[in-house]
Structure 1
Amino acid sequence: MSIADFLEGASIWVLPVLLAVTLHEAAHAYVAKLLGDDTATKLGRVSLNPLKHIDPFGTVLLPGILIFSGAPFLFGWAKPVPVVFGRLRNPKRDMIFVAIAGPISNILIALIAAFCFNFIPLIDNPVAYKWVAQNLSNAININLILAIFNMFPILPLDGGRILTGLLPTPLAIKFSKSERYGMFVLLGLIFLLPMIGQQIGTDLDIFRYVMIEAKSAIIPFFQELANLIKFN
């Protein structure tokens, strides 16, 4: 990929990605503050400033490498919002609200982006029209992917936090101990299983299958909201 192609790709991905991760993390911090824990607030994480949430490797370097290499997917992460669950008014219940705030923020961004598709016909310039349409399309896709990904019931993902809050206390305590292995489980699902599947001639890409099926189930609603304008 040439530098020009990279810059073109970055121009239609940077804004959607920064918006998605910024509001996702800020939503966690804001809800935690409402429910009694101001740890993230004191660190300046209740903010729409992307610099407060960017992880140099996960938000900038890794996505940049994937875009430049022409990878068929975009992957990355932001700095996790610190939450002291013991400081929440009702820790077991409130951790659910704190966790789900992130995915809900992404769904809301996707809804707004889809709705905005109805206004891009007002743009006369073909180049600007295409650029705005690509940004809105990518905003829908990246936010849906981020919401679905974070709902996997694996710690430290939001889905794992929600499951911890829903489980009976004895089971929740046992499940919470799995967090130390969570990233290894995710890396295994995303990279190792597909590699093993290729070696034995079997499709073991469970992670990709779940992501695709979940997205396929909800994307028609966003297409309709976008006035039936097609996007990838």
Structure 2
Amino acid sequence: MGGLLFYDWNTLPFVILVLVLSFTVHEFAHAYSAYKLGDPTAQHFGRVSLNPMVHLDLFGTIMLLLAGFGWAKPVPVNRGNFKKPRLYGIIVTAAGPISNLILAFISMFILALFHKNGWFDGLSTGSGDAIQIFLSLMLSINLTLFLFNLIPIPPLDGYRIIQDLVDLKYSEGLQKFEQWASVIFLLVVFIRPLRQVTLDPYLSLGNDIVRWFAKPIAFMLGM
């Protein structure tokens, strides 16, 4: 993920819009899946909503723009309300990253649809550029959010999934290392040499996902 230095100032409004939409859908997916699986906690707090104001954390959003690392308000979940706490917990946790993957796929599909039908040619230069920038950022940023959130380090979704997958005795042991893991993670995010040999190569898997998307999209569009 890049910070402000990686975005042109003319692109920044699109970046902010994409981040707001992506964070909102991500947190809504957590809240909605928890509600449908029997936990009304998020609903009581007004989080089963697509209203960005109930999900965005101001400081977390600023940090994402500045450093490429940020967060939204965590969705409150009471796993005691689930019939199968660990299984449903994994589903609820995974719903967030999966929603970003779906948004990325939809964005790439729409981009391909525009190109196939020559719709960009029928638009003014400004309108065509705006749509292309928005969809391209929706694709790249949501792929990054998908991969980023699956990293198995607290407080990311990947860590919560690991906690539910491993045996309970190991899950309790993991909690002892949460504080140190978070410190290590912050060092990796903010120290560029470490980031370039760890986080950046992992996030580059987004390019592989784009190639995987290309085949079903080409099939659906008859390309």
Does the alignment reach a TM-score above 0.5? yes
1:176/1:64 Cα in 2 relative to 1: closer, same or farther (>3 Å)? closer
**Which residue identity does 1:76 align to in structure 2?**
G
- Asked if the contact 2:69/2:189 (under 8 Å) is kept, the reply is no
1:93/1:177 Cα in 2 relative to 1: closer, same or farther (>3 Å)? farther
Deviation larger for 133-142 or 157-166: 157-166
Secondary structure, counterpart of 1:144 in structure 2: helix
RMSD, matched Cα:
2.3
Equivalent position of 1:206 in the other structure:
198
Equivalent position of 2:124 in the other structure:
125
Q: TM-score, normalised by structure 1?
A: 0.80
C-alpha distance in 2 between matches for 1:204 and 1:47: 37
C-alpha distance in 1 between matches for 2:79 and 2:178: 15
Question: Unpaired segments of 5 or more residues in structure 2?
Answer: 219-223
Q: How does 1:55-74 map to 2 (within 5 A)?
A: 55-59=57-61, 61-65=62-66, 74=68
- Asked if the contact 2:18/2:137 (under 8 Å) is kept, the reply is yes
C-alpha distance in 1 between matches for 2:110 and 2:81: 39
Task: Give the count of matched residue pairs.
Answer: 207
**Which residue identity does 1:135 align to in structure 2?**
F
1:91 is aligned to 2:93: no
Equivalent position of 2:137 in the other structure:
138
- Asked if the contact 1:104/1:147 (under 8 Å) is kept, the reply is yes
- Asked if the contact 2:154/2:178 (under 8 Å) is kept, the reply is yes
Equivalent position of 1:26 in the other structure:
28
1:35 is aligned to 2:37: yes
- Asked if the contact 2:22/2:142 (under 8 Å) is kept, the reply is yes
Identity of matched residues, %: 36
1:138/1:169 Cα in 2 relative to 1: closer, same or farther (>3 Å)? same
1:217 is aligned to 2:208: yes
Deviation larger for 21-30 or 178-187: 178-187
Secondary structure, counterpart of 2:11 in structure 1: helix
**Which residue identity does 1:129 align to in structure 2?**
G
Equivalent position of 2:185 in the other structure:
186
C-alpha distance in 1 between matches for 2:104 and 2:180: 31
Equivalent position of 1:44 in the other structure:
46
Cα distance, 1:219 vs structure 2: 2.0
Equivalent position of 1:161 in the other structure:
160
Cα distance, 1:46 vs structure 2: 0.8
C-alpha distance in 2 between matches for 1:57 and 1:226: 37
